[in-house]
Amino acid sequence: MKTTLTLFVAFIFPLLPVNSQLKQGYPITPVPFTSVKVTPGTFWGQRLEASRKVTIPLAFSKCEETGRYTNFSNAAEHMKDHSKVFDIKEGTFPFDDTDPYKTIEGASYILQTYPDKALAAYIDSVLDIIASAQEPDGYLYTARTQNPQKPHGWSGMTRWSAEEQGSHELYNLGHMVESAVAHYQATGSRKFLDIAIRFADLVCKEVGPNPGQACVVPGHQIAEMALARLYLATGEKKYLDEAKFLLDYRGKTKIKQEYSQSHKPVVEQDEAVGHAVRAAYMYAGMADVAALTGDKDYIMAIDAIWDNIVTKKLYITGGIGATGNGEAFGKNYELPNMTAYCETCAAIGNVYVNHRLFLLHGEGKYYDVLERTLYNGLLSGVSLEGNGFYYPNPLASEGQHERQPWFGCACCPSNICRFIPSLPGYVYAVKENRFNETPGVYVNLFLTNTSTLEVGGKKVRLSQETEYPWKGDVTLKIEENQAGEFILMIRIPGWTRNQVVPSDLYTFADGKQSSLPSVSVNNRPFLYFNSNIEPDGYLAMGRKWKKGDKVKIHFDMEPRIVRANENVEADRGLLCVERGPLIYCAEHPDNTININDAHICPDTQFKTGKTKIAGTPITTLIAEDSGLTLIPYYAWCHRGRGNMRVWLPQNSQ
C-alpha cells in the first residue's frame, strides 16, 4: 500500500449537492474550499505544498506502520469468520480509527489545489479497507468489531455503554462524517459519504431520548458539528436534530463533570472549562445549532462562552487551554507561559468556533481571533517542512521542547493534516441581501488566490494578490461579474484600529495610534474615516463592479508592543511584540545574549530584517537599541533546542 504521491493532472468532479432542495443554511454562507485556489509558492501556498508533499504522505505511512489499517482488516476478518478474533494491540486507542479519516479529509482538500490521480487512487484503496469493517447495520468501530467478546478496555461490553467514559464511538463517527463530506465535495464520489451516512443513520436510530435508545452524549465531542455538516450536505434534518439532542442532553445524563463540559446543560454554561479540545468542538457544535436553528438560548450561551474566552482565557498567540492537567482551560486569567499547554487541536477548535460565530453574526471580531490563532497558535503546531509536530505550544522554553515526527496519541498531527489544506474555505463568504437587498461579499483573509463565488445565483470571479503577512499591500481584482451590484466587505483587522483582541485582555503599550488602511479603487483614493467602518469591523464598498476593477488596500505593518491585563499574573511586568497578525518571539540562535536576560521597553523601536529558517524566507524584527532579534513565533525550534520567550521583561529605564 505504500505509494509515492506524485503530481498528476486529473479531472475533479464538480460539487453535486446530495439534496438540491436544501435551502436552510447559515445566515452568512461560506465560500467552499472547492471554489478557492491558493497560488503556489506564496505564504499559504508553501504550507499547502508542504502538506501535499510531506505531511499527508507521512500521515498515511504512519497509519500503515502503526496498524491503523490493520484494525479495519481485522474487523472485516472477524465478520467473515466469527471464530477469528484479534487481541487489541497494547498501546492503541479506541479513536485510532480517526487518524485515517482525518488524513483522508486533508488529502481530499489538497486534491482541489493539486489534482493527483495517484493520491485519489490511494484514498480509494483505503476506503475499501474502511468499508470492509462496517457491520451490516452500519456500525463501524474496530475497537469492538475485531473482538466483540474482549473489546478495547475503554469501550464497554455493549455499544454506547461506555460512550460517556471513553469509548469514543461518537467521536469516531464525527471524524468519519467530517472526512466523508470533504471527500464527496472534492471528488463527487459518494463512496465514503455512503459509509458515513449508514453509520450516522444507525446513531440516529440507536442514540436518543426515546424508549429503546441509548440516552448518552459524546464523551469526546465532535459528532455535534459533524452531524450539522452532514445536514448541510444532505438536507436531511434528522442529522441536525441528532446534533441538537447530543447537546441538549449534556448535563442531564449519568456523567456530570467539567472535564467533558457535562457539568450542566449547555444553555446554562457561560464559562469555558475542562478539556480544551472537547470544549472547542462542543462550542463549535453549539454555534452550528445556534446559526442553523436560530435558537436564542443557544445564541446567548455560546456568545457568553466566547466572551469568557476572549476576555480571560485566550493566549496572545490565539492558543487556548492553559494547563496540562486535563489538557484544560485554567481559571480566569490563568495563562502561564512556560507550562502553557495550548494544544494544537485546541487551536484548530478555536478556529472552528470563531468561523461559525462569524457565519452566525457576521462580525469581524471573530475573524480577528481566528486570524491570530491561525498564524500563531495553530501554525506553530507543525514544522515548516511539514514533518514535525507539537502537541502543546508553550510561550517559553528552556530547551525542553522539540517537535516530534509522530505521537502514539496522534490526534494533533492528523488534525494538522486535515486543517491546513482546508484553509481555502475560510477566505470568503457571501450574504444575500446584505443591505437594501444588495448582496455582500466578505473578504476575511488576505492571501494570494483565485476564486469563483455565487452571488445572488450569479457567477463572480475574484483574484487576490499579496505578500501578507510580510507586507501589507493587498490587491483585489474583479475578474468576472455576472451579479451586477454587490457590496465588497473588506475586513479591517482590529490591530489596525488599535485593538489587539476584542477585549481588554491585551492592549498596545507603545502609546502609538494605529493607522487605518489606505484604500483605492482603480488607482483612485477611496476616502473613508473610522466612522465609515461598519460596526461589525468591515469597510463596505458597494457598486456595480466591472471586469478589471481593482481594489488596493495597504495595511501598516509597523511592529507594536503589547501588554497583558494586570490580572494575568504570569505576564505582569512583561511585554511582547507583534507585527500585523504575527506574534514574535526571541530565540537562542539569533542572539548572542541569553534571551532570559533580554529586556524591551514600550518605546523600543524595531527594524525589519530577512533570514531563512528551514529554507523558508522569514521577516525578522531587530531592536534598534540592543540588537535583540525576534522571529515569528510559529517558526521557533527549527534550529535545535534552546531558550525561547514570547513575553520579555520590561526595561525599568
Res 164 pLDDT > 50:
yes
Coil, strand or helix at 613:
strand
**Distance from chain centroid for Cα 179:** 14
Whether 146 and 88 have beta carbons less than 8 Å apart is answered as: yes
What separation in angstroms does the CA of 224 have from each of 194, 417, 422? 19, 21, 19
DSSP code per residue over 345-397: HHHHHHHHHHHHHHHHH--HHHHHHHHHIIIIIIGGGB-TTS--B-SS--SEE
Q: What's at 373, amino acid-wise? A: T
Coil, strand or helix at 309:
helix
* Average confidence (pLDDT) over 188-200: 98
pLDDT per residue as tens digits for the range 617-636: 999 999 999 999 999 999 99
Element of type H or E holding 233: helix 223-234
What separation in angstroms does the CA of 607 have from each of 628, 631, 647, 653? 11, 12, 19, 21
Q: What is the pLDDT of residue 405?
A: 87
Whether 351 and 370 have beta carbons less than 8 Å apart is answered as: yes
The DSSP output letter for 432 is E
Enumerate the β-bridge partners of residue 411.
none
CA angle 434, 364, 565 (to 5 degrees): 155
**Can you tell me the distance from the alpha carbon of 95 to that of 221, in angstroms, rounded to the nearest whole number?**
12
Burial class (CB in 10 A: 0-12, 13-18, 19+), 301: buried
Res 24 pLDDT > 90:
no
Whether 224 and 170 have beta carbons less than 8 Å apart is answered as: no
Q: Give the Cβ contact number of residue 575 at 10 Å.
A: 21
pLDDT per residue as tens digits for the range 294-306: 999 999 999 999 9
Q: What is the pLDDT of residue 487?
A: 95
Q: What is the pLDDT of residue 290?
A: 98
Res 22 pLDDT > 50:
no
Whether 430 and 442 have beta carbons less than 8 Å apart is answered as: yes
Q: What is the pLDDT of residue 616?
A: 96
Q: How many residues does the chain have?
A: 653
**Can you tell me the distance from the alpha carbon of 13 to that of 190, in angstroms, rounded to the nearest whole number?**
11
**Can you tell me the distance from the alpha carbon of 220 to that of 98, in angstroms, rounded to the nearest whole number?**
13
Lowest-confidence region among 13-27, 413-427, 457-471: 13-27
Element of type H or E holding 280: helix 276-293
Whether 376 and 317 have beta carbons less than 8 Å apart is answered as: yes
Whether 469 and 435 have beta carbons less than 8 Å apart is answered as: no
Pairing outcome for strands 485-491 and 438-443: parallel
Whose CA is closest to 264, among 276, 279, 249? Answer: 249
Res 113 pLDDT > 50:
yes
Res 575 pLDDT > 80:
yes
Lowest-confidence region among 8-17, 469-478, 610-619: 8-17
What separation in angstroms does the CA of 349 have from each of 11, 22, 394, 510, 572? 32, 27, 17, 32, 28
Whether 645 and 596 have beta carbons less than 8 Å apart is answered as: yes
Coil, strand or helix at 572:
coil
Q: Which three three-digit cell numbers place residue 199?
A: 453509520
Res 219 pLDDT > 90:
yes
Whose CA is closest to 56, among 558, 380, 413, 512? Answer: 413
Rg for the chain, CA atoms, rounded: 24
pLDDT band at 653 (very low <50, low <70, confident <90, very high): low
CA angle 450, 225, 301 (to 5 degrees): 110
**Can you tell me the distance from the alpha carbon of 582 to that of 608, in angstroms, rounded to the nearest whole number?**
13
Residue holding cell 458539528? 225
> Given its phi and psi angles, is residue 386 left (phi above 0), alpha (psi -120 to 50 degrees) or beta?
left
Res 410 pLDDT > 90:
no
Q: What is the pLDDT of residue 213?
A: 98
* Average confidence (pLDDT) over 212-222: 98
State pTM to two decimals.
Answer: 0.95
**Can you tell me the distance from the alpha carbon of 105 to that of 99, in angstroms, rounded to the nearest whole number?**
10
**Can you tell me the distance from the alpha carbon of 71 to that of 91, in angstroms, rounded to the nearest whole number?**
13
Q: What is the pLDDT of residue 106?
A: 97
Whether 319 and 336 have beta carbons less than 8 Å apart is answered as: no
